[in-house]
């Protein structure tokens, strides 16, 4: 049975409110949660970007949910320090924390002042970081000289079990590549045919563990409201790579935002006022073979979404009806 989780969007909601939201999601029946790890929002309209790692400790301490985040070691985060963060949460909350390790976006990483590398360099840097982090989580003292430099780094508090290191991937090529090191896969909603190919590429390359889909959606009591929320909050996210990788500021994304017609947002967000339609979409994703679905209502107000989906969507999916 596919599990249904809640996605906590740090770009859109203050850390204090987001903590209340994830607690609300647990009460409403969501089985788990995940979150983003940004330094900057995608738009000035979103207007938030709390520190994920402080929030994760509070969320794990005040719920019984398993939680994870998508994060990027290598530029903003040194991999040895990242390993210490991961190990500490894993040691404090055994078996309840996972992390997806990606190559990042310039909007979050440019703050160091270092040059933003080409995609193939970022991928190589990520793979070096994954190796460093995994070895440190296994208790090794690690030194490394490459695109990242590590000098005799050792963790003194080790987690048991070791948190899963999940591979985030959107394309078929990326899914096949992360299969070499990942303990699972996480991707985002795209056309069903593309998602089927992504899953096949990951499994075909020997990918192990659970597969997860982050579903961007917008629900409101009327179709007009649902579309307005999606357009206001997620219009800039209709632009995929390389734009999403390489733009550096929320203001730059806002320039693109103004060029997106409301209906164009439907290419990136499942928009409907009909809860039965949302159930059907989610059931289709489950039928593709995803083990976990994380629901991201792209609005800033989460309460009505959590209540409606907790009452009318989650029970139907859990019973297969």
Pairing of strands 97-101, 66-71: parallel
By the 8 A CB rule, do 97 and 60 touch? yes
3-state secondary structure the chain: CCEEEEEECCCCCCHHHHHHHHHHHHHHCCCEEEECCCCCCCCCCCCCCCCHHHHHHHHHHHCCCEEEEEECECCCECHHHHHHHHHHHHHHCCCCEEEEECCCCHHHHHHHCCCCCCHHHHHHHHHHHHHHHHHHHCCCCEEEECCCEEEEECCCCCCCCCCEEEEECCCHHHHHHHCCCCCCEEEECCCHHHHHHHHHHHHHCCCCCCEEEEEEEECCCCHHHHHHHHHHHHHHHHCCCCHHHHCCCHHHHHHHHCCCCHHHHHHCCEECCCHHHHHHHHHHHHHHCCCEEEEEECCCCCHHHHHHHHHHCHHHHHHCC
Sign of CA dihedral 229, 231, 233, 238: positive
Contacts of 193 (CB under 8 A, 6+ apart): none
Residues with a known catalytic role: 38, 105
Contacts of 24 (CB under 8 A, 6+ apart): 302, 303, 306
Residues in the chain: 321
């Amino acid at each position: 049975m596919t599990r249904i989780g809640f996605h906590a969007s740090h770009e859109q909601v203050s850390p204090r409110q987001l903590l209340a939201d994830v607690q609300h999601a647990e009460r409403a029946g969501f089985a788990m949660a995940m979150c983003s790890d940004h330094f900057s929002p995608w738009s000035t309209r979103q207007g938030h970007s709390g520190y994920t790692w402080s929030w994760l400790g509070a969320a794990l301490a005040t719920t019984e949910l398993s939680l994870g985040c998508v994060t990027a070691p290598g530029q903003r985060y040194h991999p040895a320090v990242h390993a210490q963060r991961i190990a500490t949460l894993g040691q404090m909350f055994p078996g309840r924390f996972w992390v997806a390790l990606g190559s990042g976006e310039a909007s979050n990483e440019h703050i160091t002042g270092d040059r933003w590398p080409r995609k193939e360099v970022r991928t190589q840097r990520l793979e070096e970081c994954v190796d460093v982090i995994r070895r440190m989580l296994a208790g090794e003292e690690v030194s490394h000289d490459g695109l990242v430099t590590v000098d005799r780094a050792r963790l003194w508090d080790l987690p048991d079990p070791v948190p899963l290191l999940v591979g985030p991937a959107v394309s078929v090529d990326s899914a096949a590549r992360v299969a070499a090191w990942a303990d699972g896969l996480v991707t985002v909603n795209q056309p069903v045919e593309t998602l089927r190919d992504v899953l096949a590429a990951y499994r075909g390359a020997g990918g192990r563990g659970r597969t997860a889909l982050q579903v961007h959606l917008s629900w409101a009591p009327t179709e007009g409201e649902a579309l307005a929320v999606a357009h206001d909050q997620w219009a800039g996210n209709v632009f995929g790579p390389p734009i999403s990788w390489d733009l550096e500021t929320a203001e730059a994304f806002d320039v693109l935002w103004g060029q997106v017609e409301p209906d164009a947002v439907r290419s990136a967000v499942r928009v409907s006022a009909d809860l039965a339609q949302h159930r059907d979409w989610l059931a289709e994703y489950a039928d593709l073979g995803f083990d976990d679905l994380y629901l991201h209502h792209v609005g800033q107000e989460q309460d009505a979404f959590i209540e409606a989906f907790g009452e009318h969507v989650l029970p139907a999916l859990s019973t297969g009806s």
